Amino acid sequence: MTDEVIVAVEGRAGRLRLNRPKAIHALNRPMCASMLDALDAFGTDGRVEVVMIDHAEGRGFCAGGDIRAAAESGKTGGAEAKAFFFTEYQLNHRLFTYEKPVVAFMDGITMGGGVGLSLPARLRVATENTRFAMPETGIGLFPDVGGGWYLSRLPGRTGQFLALTGHRLNGAECVALGLATHLLPAARLDEAKRRIADAPDDRAAILDDLSEPAGEAPILAHAEAIDRLFASDDLDEVLAALDADGGDFARAQRAVLATKSPQTMKVALRLLKEGGGMTDFADEMAQEYAVACRIVVKHDFIEGVRAVIVDKDNAPRWSPAPDAAGIDAIFAPLPEAQAWTPHEGARP
């Protein structure tokens, strides 16, 4: 166990509280392993009827994974990074298949790894502080932790738009798109958690009672443009559509994509195309792990982390976009001995 995750049983609820505030609760491997152990324990604990996931303090739920450490590992073969992804994806899958109901509280920054913790939950609570995004293409990574599954199932081409641009959604937009099930004022979260711990069977009704109207979701005003401009699974065709449109929205998105890794934008589109046709979340995790093992040692990931997180010059020097054969190589299944496997405590 690690003190970066607070594990407790309160009333009839198991609690998992991220506790790494200086890093906005970014995940590392010990944190993921600790949560896996806790979920195994909660699964057989008769006192626990519901699991709640939140953060202990600070301004965000979870900013992602410990990407700086992963990039450092990638420079020398990526063994530590691959071990992190292996365990993180086991946690994502464990939550997706968990035998007891899970409630996630997405208060504040919810990005990358935080998305992987929250979206498997049956009830997902956003607040006025929620800032939800999958910004990985900006650091030469890709929308993992189940991104190929979740984003491909959003309305229209919204998932492709989010995957390529890393656009940030507020709480109302998360509700409108189905990423969150409820919008609560942050001031009511403690009451919600207390009441759910006392009466787990009433969890949905409790959240309904404490919710407020989601209000306007700005992204919906652009739904038609998103569906039209991001209609293709071919990056070159998306860029051509943006260039040809001439409207303010298209110009803004084209400028955003000019800052992203061409390699991982292509990976993201392929991931969503294939993920949308999958019927087993374990298959999604196995594919994402194979892709992650290739991406973590590539120039764009190491360079993207340098530019955005380490040196903060925001001037990454991306590699040329790979051709179809290059993308095929990134997606090739790993040898059986190296492939991802579910956590042994996971349920089918």
Active site residues: 65, 113, 136, 144
DSSP-assigned letter for residue 54? E
- Distance from C-alpha of 286 to C-alpha of 265, rounded to nearest angstrom: 20
Give Cβ neighbours of residue 131 (< 8 Å, ≥ 6 apart).
Answer: 60, 108, 109, 110, 111, 168, 169, 170
**In which order are the strands placed within the sheet that holds 60-62?**
60-62, 109-111, 131-133
What is the full DSSP assignment across 95-138? HHT-SS-EEEEE-SEEETHHHHHHTTSSEEEE-TT-EEE--GGG
- Distance from C-alpha of 128 to C-alpha of 322, rounded to nearest angstrom: 40
DSSP-assigned letter for residue 324? H
- Distance from C-alpha of 82 to C-alpha of 74, rounded to nearest angstrom: 9
Helices (H), ranges, the chain: 29-43, 67-74, 79-96, 113-118, 147-150, 158-165, 171-177, 189-198, 203-210, 223-229, 235-245, 248-257, 262-275, 281-295, 299-305, 324-331
- Distance from C-alpha of 169 to C-alpha of 341, rounded to nearest angstrom: 32
Give Cβ neighbours of residue 273 (< 8 Å, ≥ 6 apart).
Answer: 152, 233
Task: Decide if 292 contacts 78 (C-beta within 8 A).
Answer: no
Tokens 């507020």 correspond to 170
